[in-house]
């Protein structure tokens, strides 16, 4: 397919893997599909720290805004379907039909489900109850 070399995203920055790359081989053709970054321990720790630093702001994000972001992510993935499906095929060796039905569409459906969930209450009302006393 290609010899694309992908990068890591840590703290919003695109960086090369400090430990190099590893080949992604199409299992159906044994051709090189791309190269994935190999993160170092330090980069993995930096990613955890960046996620922890971002969490307080994200946890204060209004549900409607979270839902909009998740739906936008699904929209972007769907808009780039023609570019994404061949990459998934090359990575997994699956047919286009399998990739679309078992990888691509479930991913966007999951994002949309999470967007819907962001707008639903998790509160389960319980009816009033009288607690019996024991002698």
pTM of the complete model? 0.77
CA 1 to chain centre: 23
Dist CA 37 CA 35 (whole Å):
7
Q: What is the pLDDT of residue 60?
A: 96
**What pLDDT digit, counting tens, does each position of 44-62 carry?**
999 999 999 999 999 999 9
Concatenated DSSP letters for 82-106? HHHHHHHHHHH---HHHHIIIIIHH
**What pLDDT digit, counting tens, does each position of 68-116 carry?**
999 999 999 999 999 999 999 999 999 999 999 999 999 999 999 999 9
Q: Does 1 have pLDDT greater than 60?
A: no
- The backbone region for 113, taken as left when phi is positive above 0, alpha when psi lies in -120 to 50, beta otherwise, is alpha
């Amino acid at each position: 397919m290609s010899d694309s070399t992908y990068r890591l995203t840590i703290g919003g920055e695109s960086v090369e893997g400090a430990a190099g790359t590893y080949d992604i081989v199409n299992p159906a053709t044994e051709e090189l599909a791309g190269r994935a970054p190999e993160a170092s321990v330090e980069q993995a720790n930096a990613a955890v720290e960046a996620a922890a630093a971002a969490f307080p702001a994200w946890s204060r994000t209004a549900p409607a805004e979270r839902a909009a972001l998740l739906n936008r992510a699904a929209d972007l993935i769907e808009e780039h379907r023609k570019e994404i499906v061949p990459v998934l095929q090359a990575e997994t060796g699956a047919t286009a039909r399998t990739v679309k039905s078992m990888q691509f569409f479930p991913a966007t459906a999951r994002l949309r489900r999470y967007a819907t969930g962001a707008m639903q209450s998790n509160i389960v009302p319980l009816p009033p109850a009288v607690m019996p006393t024991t002698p």
